Each structure stands twice: as structure tokens, then as C-alpha cells.
Structure 1
Amino acid sequence: MQHILHIVLNEYTNDNRVRRAAECGRDTGSDVTIFALASPVLSGRTNERGIVVSRFALTTRSWPKHKLVQLVKYVEVLIRMTFAGARLRPSIVHAHDVDALPIGCFVAALSGSKLVYDAHELWADPAHARVMPKWISKGLAYTEHLFARRADACITVSESIATYMATHQRIPHPVVVRNVPEAWPEQRQLKLRTSLSIPQDKVIILYQGAIGGDGIGTLVDAFRKLSGDPILVFLGNGPLVEHLRNSLADLGQRVRFHPFVSSQELPSFTSDADIGVHPMAAGFLNHLWALPNKLFEYIQGGLAVVVSDLPEMARVVSDHNIGLTFKPGDASALALALQTLVDDAVLRNRYRESARSAAKVLNWSKERERLEAMYGMLKGKKPIACTSNDTE
């Protein structure tokens, strides 16, 4: 029987991309193991819905967080996961992101496995140097460039990132497997309005997910320009919640906050709004080519959407006719788009109906077919080239 080993250098507590990929292998008849890091409450070996999860407790975990010490910690996890993986002798090693790629490459070399590299984002984006030392960001980009060419198949999250990787790393075009959610149930108990005491006749503009990032300021400035009485709801937690509560206090009940809800509860809350907004800032390649989870969640919820006019998001909106786009960072343009949908119920409902239709194809049961096909090809004796996929 085929055995797939997933390697991820996080604690695997809320990583839906890894979970979906692991479940895909399990559902197609493979044994599946995930190597992850231990947390203060999770360690050792567990079985989670037919998937074995082995979490590694590092002896260097308590050491200082100095960058050079972090490198020592990485060497420890590389050595331990490499030898544990080689003993496992998997058929396929699926390495998630650039930090897991060298480990996956060494395991594959020692055990004769096929190697899959799954780039969750564009690691060659110079913007990484803003949040980490330049030598680390350059090192990660070089590591990806060196090891990605040794993979038997490559995956990434959007067509634009796949094209960039193929061109700059001189690898075959990666397979595009987007971060789309499972299809939401058609029958949903709607909870957002009841939870926040919002009347049915009020138009709800929803921003959900982590409450942070450069685009939040654009949304706030845009909302202050709106006429009428729409309600802006922030659904989730994040570093800006308290700041927003204070800075928007003068708007009273026109702005509401609801804490994070589980993925199981999310359909009941998202689907009770009218418009889903994502004002992602431009300026970084990972933003420019992003397909954020919240966009697909808005679609599953049947919302009209208003998003920044960035290539990948704009393509989805245009192809499925589900909403409007605006120039990134332009609060007046965002206000105009939102005001249009607030005032025009016919247009808003037309986009919502289109979103419901799009939800039938933009879901994991459809998207996973690409991953299943790749795993199926890897069962052959010869390594396969990474093949191109259209995004629609």
C-alpha cells in the first residue's frame, strides 16, 4: 500500500491545507503520516481520523530565540525528522513550504521516495525581508531554488505564483491547488444577526479572519464615507481589534465585533451577511498573487464581494461575476463600490446568486481532483514533471 508522509514545521493545530492534503491521500487508500512539531499540550504520536500524527519535541525548544540559535533548532529538527522519515520508508514525501523542503529531499533520497514540494506562498518575494533579517529571507529563497528542482512534483496556491516559480527557478510549471474550503452545507442555521442583534433589514458588510494588515485602515476610511445605515461587522480576532473598538466608537452600533468562530460554525455566521469585503494592500508579490481563504469563504456563504483589484482575486470575481473590485489602498474607490452594492439590492442579489453558483465549483471536493491526479501519477515508476493547471 502507498504510504504518504507529510512534513510541516508547525504544530499542526490549525493548518487546513495540510489537513486536506492528508485526508485526500487517506481517502484514496494510502496510509498517511504527518511529521509536525510538538506543542506544550500536544506531543508524541496520535491517530487523528485515520491519519498518524507524529509530533517532535525538540530538546532545543527552550533555548533563546536568537536567530543563530533558531538555526541550531532547525538543524535538530532536520536530523530527527530525516532519520525518522527514512525509517518509515514512505512512497511519497509531501514537504509543506520551504522550511520542510530540505527535510523532505533528504528523506526521499534515503528512502527512494517520490518528493512533492508544496509552496504555500512565494518565498522569493522580497517583502519577506521586511519581517525577517535579509540573510534569512535570501537564504530561504536560495534553499527553495536549490531543492525545488529535485522534486518529482511541485504544487502552489495560485497560477501567478506557479508561473513565477517555473520561470525563475527553472522548474516545470507547478500544479495549482488553491486553498478553497470544503463545500458548505446548503441548509444553514443563520446566527450572525441574532448574535449581534442586527435587524433583518440592515445590510451587513463583513470582514472576517485575522483582524490586522494594511488594508484595514482603507476599509475603515471607506466605511466612514458611506451614507445610509449599513452595518460593518468584524468577525475574528487579531492585533487591531481593540484599536478598532476605540477608534470607531463614535460610529456606535454601525460597527460590530464578533470573536473568532470555529470552521464548523463559520457557515452559519458568514452566510448571514450581505457583502464580503477584502481590502488587501498591494506592493508585495504574495499580496498581488494571493487567493485568500476569506474570498472563497465569502463565495461559499453566497455573499456579493468587494475586493482589491489584484490579478488573482480580480480574475475570480470577474470569471464568476460575483462582485466588484477597487484600486488597492483607495478608500474613495472602495467606498464607491460598497455604496453601489448597499444601494442597489437587485445588483447585490444578482452577485449573491452568482456566488452560490460559483460555490458549487470553487470547493475542495473539486479542487482535490488535481491533488488526486498528481498522487496517481506518482504511483508510476518514473518521476513526473510538474504540469500546468488552469485556475478555472
Structure 2
Amino acid sequence: MNNAHINMNEFTNASRVLKQVNSLSKNEIFEKITIIALGSDKLKDYEKISNDIELYRIRLSTRNLPKNLLFQMIKYIEFFVRSILILNKTKPKVVNAHALSVLPITLFCKFIFKSFVIYDAHELETEQVSGMSLRKKLSKWLERKIIYKTDQVFVVSESIADWYVNEYQIKRPPVILNAPNRRELKRNNHFREQLGIKADQIILLYQGGLLKGRGVHLVMDAFKARNDDKVIAVFMGYGELEEEIKNAANIHKNIFFLPAVPPNVVLEYTSSADLGIHLIQNTCLNHDYCMPNKLFEYSMAGLPILVSNMKDMSDLVSSNNMGAVISDFSANGINQAIDDFLSQDLVIMKANAYNVANKNSWEIQEGKMLAAYQEMLK
């Protein structure tokens, strides 16, 4: 019995999928697991991750075509056909769609291979933007048409699970959080050693995608306005704002940049900070309901966390006394919140954060995931 996981990305930072396939492999649920992703000139087309897990990256011959809707459809058709050709070799019993865009491919597998289909919604994709753009309308129409043909749906937060029940009247999906494996609570010093940060400076860490809408600008502007370097900000990740952060780091002595590190060492770096921050902005329902992996990475490293007032994030932080919630997103408001935060008992918050991380660790999520597989396959 084989399994396949389809992604519409280059699979360079796919920690959620890697945790899932490693758990399935460890528990010997399948004989062989195939991962399919997009290829590029800089990445290997084929990787053998373990004895029973292999990764294929499809380097599209149509990739350099323009990005308008017609040519995007041509690229998608090529990815669709080449994915099916790969899957025809293993004829998987279960196929996992890791985005709405690849769900039609998995449903085609259901038709030709009689596969079970799992739709793993990493985000609330149909609510990623406000308003009703053409793309959003098409996404909502597609999901509504085909979600009933899936055999299982996984989601990443309780509010998203509730949303799917209310929107489509489906059985409540299991919530599989983006949580790391349990880790012994220990400190590291990578940021101070690699970036020249002083021992008495307090490190506030933002890690993850350096993208608009995730509060990166808010944090950067706040630190540009600070008059001292008692607290410094480290941005660790990659994305469209990378050059802007590098430029700010060259000018301001309290802003630092470090490129993204591999998923297997992320927590070693996270535990080199003193505080974590994630000020995602409420630009859409997807943001309001999000429970990002960095939230649990911070807490597994024992970091108190500053978060924006998004529903699920703020509920977790406030109810467990593991950080503080920021509502005033002005530079002065953020800096005041940071200064107020530092006057509190951070020792208790660190302990609370680590306890929450262990109660929600991947070992716990793995159990929920495996139970869903067993129920589906019995």
C-alpha cells in the first residue's frame, strides 16, 4: 500500500509535510511514500529522503511562459499530466493534496487508481484576501464543488475547522497543528556568535516568511524608531522583504538579518533568542484564524511571545499566560508593548510557553493524524 503527497511549491521549507511523511514511515502505514513538488534549475529533480520516501520535483518546460491566466493554465496542465505519470508507477492507495490547487489532481487519482484522498488545508485558502476578487471567487467555487469528494480533510486551527463545518456542512475536520517535535529546553547562542550581538542585549526574534501582511514592516519600523539598542530585532527567513531588511540592518544598530536555516536546525536558532514576535495583520479571515508554526517553534524554545490580536493566536497566548497581545500597531504602540512586556515575570511565561508546546507537540498531532488514517482505511 503506497502513499503520495502533492505540493505546488519547490519543497524547500516544507516542515509540515516532512513531519507527516516521517510519521507515516516510522509507523509503517505505507510501503512507499512519494512526494511531488515543483522543480527549478537550482534544485535536484529527484531525492531519496529515506528508504521508503522519495521526492520528485517537476521542472516545467512551460515555467518561463507569461503569468497571465491562460499561460498559468498551460503550466498547470503540464504539472497535472506529469504528476499522474509519476503516480502511475506506484498507484497510491492514499493521495494527499497539500493545497487547493492540487486537489483536482488527487481526485483524478481517486478516479483512475481508486485512491483515498486527503485534503490537507495548510491555510484557509479561499479567505486569503478580503473582498471578492476573481481569484477568490474561482477558489471558493472550486472548493465548494469538490470538497465533498474527498475522504478526509485536515486543518490547522480550531476556528478553521469550525469554518469548514459551517461553510460546507461537512464532518468536523481533525485539527493537526503545525507544531514541532518535543525538544529538551536548552539555550543556544547562534545569533550572538554569528551576528556580533552583545551578551547584555535582549534578542527579539521574527522567523518565517519575510512577506507583506505578516507584520514585518511593523516590527522593522518600531525598531527604527527606538532610541537605544538594549533590545534588538533579528529577522530570520526569506522573502520579498529580504533586501529591505538587509538595508535597514546596515543603517540601524538594533536590526539584524539572518537567512533562513534548514527545518532540522530551526529550533537550535530559535532558542538563541529571548523573545518571539508575530504581528500578522488582520487583512483577511485566513490571518484571523491562523495558527502558524512559528508560534509553536517559539514556545518549544521557551520564548515568551508577542502576538497581534488575531483570534486563535491571541486566545492561545492570553489563556496560557505565555506572552502578550498587541493591538496598537503604531511604532510607539509596539515599542511601548515591548517595554511593558520586559517589566513582567518572563520566567513564568517561558515555563508556560514550553509547557504549551509540549502539550501540543508533533507527537500529539501525530496521534490525531494516524487515528484519522486508520479510521479512513479500516
SS in 2 for 1:58: coil
The alpha carbon displacement at 1:54 in A equals 2.9
Q: Give the match for residue 354 of structure 2.
A: 356
Q: Is the 8 A contact 2:249 2:257 kept in 1?
A: no
SS of aligned partner of 1:360: helix
Matched, 1:371 2:369: yes
Q: Distance in 1 between matches of 2:221 and 2:44?
A: 45
1:4-43 matches, cutoff 5 A: 4-29=3-28, 30=30, 31-42=32-43
Letter in 2 for 1:337: A
SS where residue 358 of structure 2 aligns? coil
- Matches of 2:88 and 2:264 in 1, distance apart? 36
* In structure 2, C-alpha distance between the alignment counterparts of 1:196 and 1:38, rounded to whole Å: 33
SS of corresponding position for 1:25:
helix
Task: Report the CA distance shift for 1:343/1:101 in structure 2 as closer, same or farther (over 3 A).
Answer: same
Q: CA deviation at 1:284?
A: 0.9
Partner SS state of residue 369, structure 1: helix
Q: Summarize the Cα distance change of 1:258–1:35 in structure 2 as closer, same or farther, 3 Å threshold.
A: closer
CA distance in 1 between counterparts of 2:227 and 2:366 reads 40
Structure 2: runs of 5+ lacking an equivalent: none
Deviations 1:240-292 (A, max 9, x none): 34434545766x43333333333333333321221111111112111111112
Q: Percent identity?
A: 30
Matching residue's letter, 2:258: H
Q: Secondary structure at the match of 1:236?
A: strand
Find the aligned partners of 1:21 and 1:377 in 2 and give their Cα distance: 17
Change (3 A) 1:56 1:309: same
Query: Residues 175 and 222 from structure 1, CA distance in 2 versus in 1: closer, same or farther, beyond 3 angstroms?
Result: same
Deviates more, 1:191-200 or 1:277-286: 191-200
- The structural deviation recorded for 1:138 is 2.0
State which drifts further: 307-316 or 50-59. Answer: 50-59
Shift, 1:58, TM fit: 3.4
CA contact (8 A) 2:15 2:263 kept: no
1:231 Cα deviation after fit: 2.1
**Structure 1: 5+ residue stretches without partners:** 381-392
- Aligned-pair CA distance for 1:185: 4.2
Q: Using the TM superposition, give the Cα deviation of residue 342 of structure 1 relative to its aligned residue in structure 2, in angstroms.
A: 2.2
Provide the aligned length of Structure 1 versus Structure 2: 373
Normalising by structure 2, what TM-score?
0.89
Rounded Cα–Cα distance in structure 1 between residues aligned with 2:269 and 2:327? 28
Contact 1:230–1:342 under 8 Å retained in 2: no
What corresponds to 2:101 in structure 1?
A: 99
Pair 243,80 (structure 1): closer, same or farther in 2 beyond 3 Å: closer
Classify the secondary structure of the residue corresponding to 1:312: helix
Using the alignment, how far apart are the partners of 2:126 and 2:321 within structure 1? 32
Work out whether 1:164 is the aligned partner of 2:163.
Answer: yes
Displacement of 1:126: 5.9
The residue number in structure 2 matching 1:209 is: 208
The farther-off stretch of 270-279 and 190-199 is: 190-199
SS of residue paired to 1:282? coil
State the TM-score, normalizing by the size of structure 1: 0.86
Aligned ranges 1:168-207 → 2 under 5 Å: 168-187=167-186, 189-207=188-206
- Quick check: 90-99 or 220-229, which moved more? 220-229
After superposition, give the CA deviation of every residue in 1:214-234 in whole Å (9 maximum; x if it has no partner): 423322444435778222222
